[in-house]
Amino acid sequence: MKKFLLLVAVVCCFFAVASFATEGGGGAYPNGAEDFMAGAVPPPGFYYINYMVGYFSDTFRDSRGKSSVPGFKLTVIGNVSRLIYVTDKKILGGNWAMHMLVPLVNVDVKTPAGDDSKFGLGDIFIDPCIVSWHSKNLHSAAGVEIIIPTGAYDKKDIANVGRNYWTIEPVFAFTYLSDSGWEISGKFMYDINFENDATDYKSGQEFHCDYTIGKRINSRWTAGIGGYWYIQTTDDKQNGIKVGDGNKGNVFAIGPQIKYDSGKLSFILKYQKEISVENKPEGSKVWLKIVAPL
């Protein structure tokens, strides 16, 4: 593939644990999913991306950044299948595409309240209208994700593979490629969460972005650093009342990443370490991503 696909991507709902920073301490999108060529959409056709990710945490931070849950441990292993169809139609001068993401998730969590483990289908993502624009050095794409609460959820459980509420997520992504092989890519998202009707809990709105700075080494290899920044912009509420001090989450992550392009398949391997964490688990992620035309 001459144009490597990784556009406006969203992956899956991963975990629910103790009630901190958005309900369960997590969000609908696993931050850091996108990297190289985040804003570049390929030519018309069908494409497949497989995301494999492991998230490992043994610390839960409070609003002051202090460890707040003794004995806490969280391990999440996810595999996500993403199908993309790029049409030959135009909208607003850009190419029209659509996609769907189907996650399978395994969650293991330990807290003072007990241990729990779950495996199953997570929350499915769809976007029927992704629009992308291209020029010599700049690529960009925009869309609105709809995150459907298809994953199993029980308010009595410590671990869940679904979040039991809908999320609407506007997305914008770009990639700038210099003539000398340098790349800057970013994907910006804003999550508007609906209420969980099983708990009457409404998680606050969230801004988050994935970023990459990389350099093409040769026709096969590209290396760089990347990660994500997440900040919760509005308070959590339950029964219409603010929860505590609002339980707003914050996290920044950074790490190395590398891409290999075989000509037909692309492989991306990356590691991300979380720092500056508030009201969320603090841990690290390891990703392997495979991109292929169908």
Averaged pLDDT, 219-233: 97
**Percentage of the chain lying above the pLDDT 90 cut:** 88
Condensed to tens digits (0 to 9), the pLDDT of residues 77-86 reads 999 999 999 9
For residue 38, give the amino acid letter: A
Q: What is the pLDDT of residue 27?
A: 79
Which range has the worst mean pLDDT, 13-27, 117-131, 155-169? 13-27
pLDDT at 24: 66
Q: Is the pLDDT of residue 14 over 50?
A: no
Minimal CA–CA distance to 149: which of 126, 166, 172, 130? 166
Look up the domain containing 42 and give its range.
Answer: 23-293
| pLDDT in the model for residue 20 | 40
- Band (pLDDT 50/70/90 cuts) for residue 124 is very high
Q: Helix or strand or coil: residue 70?
A: coil
Q: Which of 87, 102, 93 is nearest to 13 (CA)?
A: 102
**Would you say residue 112 lies in a domain?**
yes
Does position 194 have pLDDT exceeding 50, yes or no? yes
Q: What is the pLDDT of residues 16-57, one digit of tens each?
A: 333 345 786 777 888 999 999 999 999 999 999 999 999 999
What's the gap between Cα 8 and its chain centre? 10
* Sign of the dihedral defined by the CA atoms of residues 24, 121, 37, 93, in that order: negative
| Percent of the chain residues past pLDDT 70, beyond the cut | 92
What DSSP element (H or E) covers 183? Answer: strand 182-193
Residue 129 has pLDDT above 90, yes or no: yes
**Residue 2 pLDDT > 60:** no
Looking at the structure of the chain, the number of domains it has is 1
Q: How far is CA 161 from the centre of its chain?
A: 15
Give this prediction's pTM.
0.90
Is the residue at 8 inside a domain? no
Say which CATH number the domain at 30 has. Answer: 2.40.128.130
Is residue 3 one of the residues assigned to a domain? Answer: no
* pLDDT score of 227: 98
Which one, of 266, 268, 245, lies nearest residue 258 by Cα? 268
Q: Mean pLDDT of all residues in the chain?
A: 91
- Is 105 part of any domain? yes
Considering only CA atoms, which of 34, 71, 76, 70 is closest in space to residue 55? 76
**Per the structure block, which two tokens stand in for 243?**
């929860």
**Residue pair 30/284 in contact by the 8 Å Cβ criterion:** no
Question: Of 35, 124, 25, 126, which Cα lies nearest the Cα of 80?
Answer: 124
Residue 260, in any domain of the structure: yes
What is the pLDDT averaged over residues 209-219?
Answer: 97
Is 13 within a domain?
no
3-state SS, residue 25: helix
Domain contains 4: no
**Is the pLDDT confidence value at 284 over 70?**
yes
77 lies in some domain: yes
Count Cβ atoms within 10 A of the Cβ of residue 129 and give its class: 0-12 exposed, 13-18 middle, 19 or more buried: exposed
Amino acid letter for position 200: D
Average pLDDT over residues 51-70: 94
Name the band, by pLDDT with cuts 50, 70 and 90, for residue 9: very low
pLDDT of residue 21: 54
pLDDT of residue 26: 73
